[in-house]
Amino acid sequence: MTSDPLVERMRPFGTTIFTEMSALAVRTGSINLGQGFPDTDGPPEMLAAAGEALRGGANQYPPLPGIPALRAAITAHEQRFWGLTRDPDTEVVVTAGATEAVAAAMLALCEPGDEVVCFEPYYDSYAASITLAGAVRRPVTLRPGPGGRYEFDEGELRAAFGPRTRLVLLNSPHNPTGKVFTTAELTLIAELCQEFTAYAVTDEVYEHLVFTDAAEPHVPLAGLPGMRERTLRISSAGKTFSCTGWKVGWATGPAPLVSAVQRVKQFLTFVNASPLQPAVAVALGLPDGYFERFRADLQGRRDRLVSGLVEAGFEVLPSEGTYFVTADITPLGGTDGAEFCRALPARCGVVAVPTQVFYDNREAGRHLIRFAFCKREEVIDDAAQRLAKLSRPA
């Protein structure tokens, strides 16, 4: 017997960088700008509804696709913000966070050896879910272009598609770069999906976090011509309603795609979070003002952190959306983000995440690190003061 009982294909994955860095923050008493979770609660109406549901007996298995009120709220929300019309009975499935939706989608849609086109840096669960399914990832690298905005090369994207391409797994707004894909970029992806008869799976957990200075507002790929029938759209309550620990997510799309995901999901978790489902339904129905304030609030925090990072001597790359901003450590004499982040708590009591772990081509991200700004203003200010020590002679 080998000493590690883990199946071989999962051995390269180790412990996620988020777990490692959050543990480092706790161990060193540092400010955690690594893992992306807010340090304040979401809307009080949602929290009250969860308490009522808990006390009101909503504590047994909900229906497999999710409770009708939540499915209705998900479709009404998609219609209100993105103009997408869905049947709440056949075109929606509630999942244990976006993470389960991504995993179930890969397991449901990919045969072993099928290829999945994705963009790197990629959210870490993508690589693991693709591998669990026995599929092969075909990453296309995002690189800072003129002005620092992350871009991809059209030829590289085209070259990633081929006869074994099963689907493209796209995250926009994009973690960790903060990139929001433009309509022109999405159109290219849509054309290639159609040319190669591939599906698209889109992770839009940051759909409400696109800042006013982004090149364009958020555009769901599913809304582009020819894409509705081939796109599975994934989102989650965690980010939009500051409840990352609830793990209530969903997938929407044409009935055959949703049914495929649901048939796998039923054997992963079966169902999840009964008392939280009615609460998320309430949150999704909040007036437009909630979503507008949420965005404006996070944009203010982004600006606050970015000023601190610039002051500390980082080269900060533009973040158009999400909870995150990336920075180049080169001006501070850094060459390797992983080393830099491991040393940062001892140097100044702040934790960040190296983005090289989200690339196959690690060199492309070696000098880049990610900071989360979904934190209280006083926490951001404290972190900024600590980071200022980096550029001051000891």
Interface segment toward ligand PMP; rule CB under 6 A; list 9-17, 47-55, 139-147, 243-251:
243-251
Q: Does 23 bind ligand GLN (CB under 6 A)?
A: no
Q: Which is nearer to ligand GLN, 22 or 187 (CB)?
A: 22
Cβ–Cβ under 8 Å, residues 219 and 251? no
254, interface contact from ligand GLN, ligand PMP, none, CB < 5-8 Å by kind: none
284 φ, ψ to 5°?
Answer: -65, -25
d(CA 286, CA 339): 43
CB of 372 to ligand GLN, least distance (A): 6
Q: Does 355 bind ligand GLN (CB under 6 A)?
A: no
Antiparallel, parallel or unpaired: β 136-141 and 92-96? unpaired
**DSSP annotation of 321:** B
Across the chain, where does the E strand assignment appear?
A: 31-32, 92-96, 115-120, 136-141, 143-144, 150-151, 165-171, 199-203, 231-236, 248-252, 315-316, 324-328, 350-351, 353-354, 368-372
Q: Does 16 bind ligand GLN (CB under 6 A)?
A: yes
Q: Does 175 bind ligand GLN (CB under 6 A)?
A: yes
d(CA 231, CA 120): 20
Q: Does 18 bind ligand GLN (CB under 6 A)?
A: yes
Q: Which is nearer to ligand GLN, 36 or 62 (CB)?
A: 36
Look at the block and give the residue holding tokens 């609460």: 279
Q: Does 202 bind ligand PMP (CB under 6 A)?
A: no
Cβ–Cβ under 8 Å, residues 293 and 242? no
Burial level of 228, CB count in 10 A (0-12/13-18/19+)?
middle
Q: Which is nearer to ligand GLN, 62 or 337 (CB)?
A: 337
Nearest to 207 by CA among 304, 129, 284: 284
Q: Which is nearer to ligand GLN, 36 or 254 (CB)?
A: 36
For residue 160, the SS3 value is helix
CB of 67 to ligand GLN, least distance (A): 25
**Binding mask of the shown chain, residues 329 to 368, with x at each position contacting ligand PMP by CB under 6 A:** ----------------------------------------
Residue of 74, 108, 118, 205 interacting with ligand PMP (CB under 6 A): 205
Q: Which is nearer to ligand GLN, 98 or 316 (CB)?
A: 98
Q: Does 42 bind ligand PMP (CB under 6 A)?
A: no
**Binding mask of the shown chain, residues 116 to 155, with x at each position contacting ligand GLN by CB under 6 A:** ----------------------------------------
d(CA 331, CA 52): 52
Contacts of ligand PMP in 97-126 (CB under 6 A): 97-99, 123
Take residue 50 and report the two structure tokens written for it.
């969860």
**Residues within the interface to ligand GLN (CB under 6 A):** 16, 18, 35-36, 175
**Residues within the interface to ligand PMP (CB under 6 A):** 97-99, 123, 171, 175, 203, 205, 236, 238, 244, 247, 249
